Amino acid sequence: MSDRTRALERLDRLGIAYELEEHPAAFTIEELDQLRLRHPECIAKNLFLRDQKGRRHFLVTFCGHKHADLAALGQRLGCGKLSFASPRRLEQYLGLVGGEVTPLGVVNDPDAAVEVVFDRDLARQPLVGVHPCDNTATVYLAFADLRRLVEQNGNDVTLVEVP
């Protein structure tokens, strides 16, 4: 079963309403902007990060128009310096590759080892757009439903103001 199928089946099993939009592969927010999606204002940006010692891993999801300050974010999370996790760690913890980072990747994290961090601004949006573990589509769903999926998986969820 593909990661995409697993993610969509989990949404269905939880009774979460979503809209799926197919599109050419997009690896960055800039590439998504060029695709003229139905809900461009909803697209979230996702970063897979680790603490300095590599003991804690974070999936940070925030509004696509923002640029995260990793030093300030690390302080807000109480873990000091953050850096990008390697492609090997992304595969190991979320079963994903670069360009496909998404909070729906928790479906590949049975140990709930990744801490999911959401920008408080996302909670104020009517919809959030994320990849379904595959960068050839975008899933639009309510923030509360996205958070519920992550929490149902057992991952810790933190809400912060992403600087």
Run of H or E residues at 61: strand 57-63
Average pLDDT, the chain: 94
The packing angle between helices 3-13 and 143-153, to 10°, is 100
Say if CB 58 and CB 50 are below 8 A apart.
yes
What string of DSSP letters covers 90-151? HHHHHS--TT---GGGGGG-TT--EEEEEEHHHHTSS-EEE-SSSTTEEEEE-HHHHHHHHH
What residues form DSSP beta bridges with 49?
Answer: 58, 84
Q: Phi/psi at 97 (nearest 5 deg)?
A: -120, 165
Contacts of 97 (CB under 8 A, 6+ apart): 87, 90, 91
Please state the rounded mean pLDDT for residues 73-96: 95
- The reported pLDDT for the residue numbered 80 is 86
pTM over 0.75: yes
Instruction: Reply yes or no on whether the pLDDT at 1 is more than 80.
Output: no
98-116 pLDDT, tens per residue? 889 999 999 999 999 999 9
By residue count, the chain amounts to 163
Say if CB 146 and CB 130 are below 8 A apart.
yes
